Amino acid sequence: MLDITNIISAVLKGDEPEVKLLVLEAISTGEKAGDIMNKGLIAGMDEVGKKMEAEDMFIPEVLMSARAMNSGAQILKPHLTEEDSGGIGVLVIGTVQGDQHDIGKNLVKMLMEGAGFEVVDLGTDVDPHKFVSAVRDNNATILAMSALLTTTMPMMADVISALNSEGLRDRVKVLVGGAPVTEEFSDEIGADGYGPDAGSAVRIAKTLISGEV
Ligand code: B1M
């Protein structure tokens, strides 16, 4: 079997062709897609984060790593998804205003599509008004928001306030996540659910629509 830690090094180097090759090799040798994602690609980005914090890596290099990680994740996509039928509800997703991070959000999107949600992706730096309009226009069942910066987390509360002002709060379940977000923060701002990772976000989204919480 392939040593998954090679994927960590390739992500760290931002070597996109190498990441693709190693992910394909790992799949063909029978590694589980979830392990390739968590112990390879995500672990690689964690190392990138540490280096970024220590100022051993700078934005252009971080972007190369991010691109390499995304390419690997695209290859894994069909292997990570459980079902491919649509129709369990519309989920609007985006990264909050002021925040450009989208790798985690894209993973959540990927798994939600796989779980059968019709996903409307608003991208990054999404202002509250755009979230609210998308919920209304698409008659969304779930609004999923991602934030990676402690400075942008409070935007989630602003979106919930905007939903309240527009009389839409009772019509949609709000799910939040992203590295700095916690269960406590989620409760504080009145969200309906919090997912520490993409997999649990899917589980919680399904629970929210089945009305079990
Ligand atoms: Co930025 N960045 N970054 N960055 N970046 C972090 C987040 C940081 C922790 C790095 C560090 O200093 N250690 C730090 C934040 C500090 C803080 O606020 N506490 C930081 C900073 C400071 C910044 C800038 C301000 C740097 C600067 O310019 N001086 C700047 C801000 C730009 C902006 O957004 N306005 C910036 C810029 C960037 C890049 C553009 C270079 C790039 C983003 C590229 C992109 O996304 N397209 C980048 C990156 C790549 C990172 C790190 C290294 C990696 C993030 C990532 O993609 N992780 C990150 C350090 C780190 O997290 N280790 C860092 C992999 C991804 C799979 O994990 O997104 O956490 P994550 O998603 C997880 C869970 O959180 C969860 O599921 C995923 C796993 O399954 N999840 C959800 C995510 N969303 C969810 C939603 C849900 C449920 C679960 O429900 C809705």
All structural domains of the chain with their residue ranges: 5-84, 87-210
With tokens 């509360």, the residue in question is 157
pLDDT tens profile 4-54: 889 999 999 999 999 999 999 999 999 998 899 889 998 898 888 888 878
Q: Ligand 1, closest atom to CA 63?
A: 41
d(CA 26, CA 20): 10
pLDDT tens profile 145-181: 999 999 999 999 999 999 999 999 999 999 999 999 9
Query: How far is CA 21 from each of CA 10, 15, 53, 72, rounded to the nearest angstrom?
Result: 10, 10, 28, 9
> E strand or H helix at 179, and its extent?
none
* Ligand 1 pocket mutation pick from 99, 101, 152, 181 by most atoms within 8 angstroms of CB: 101
CATH superfamily of 5-84: Methionine synthase domain (1.10.1240.10)
Q: Which amino acids bring their CB within 6 angstroms of ligand 1?
A: 42, 45-46, 48-49, 52-53, 59, 62-63, 66, 98-105, 107-108, 144-146, 148-150, 175-180, 195, 197-198, 201
Which residue has the least CA distance to atom 26 on ligand 1?
59
Domain 87-210 has CATH 3.40.50.280: yes
Q: What is the pTM of this model?
A: 0.85
CA of 122 from ligand 1 middle (Å) equals 17
Alpha carbons within 13 angstroms on the beta-carbon side of residue 158 total 15
Q: Residues near 42 by Cβ (< 8 Å), separated by ≥ 6?
A: 69
d(CA 174, CA 181): 14
d(CA 125, CA 2): 38
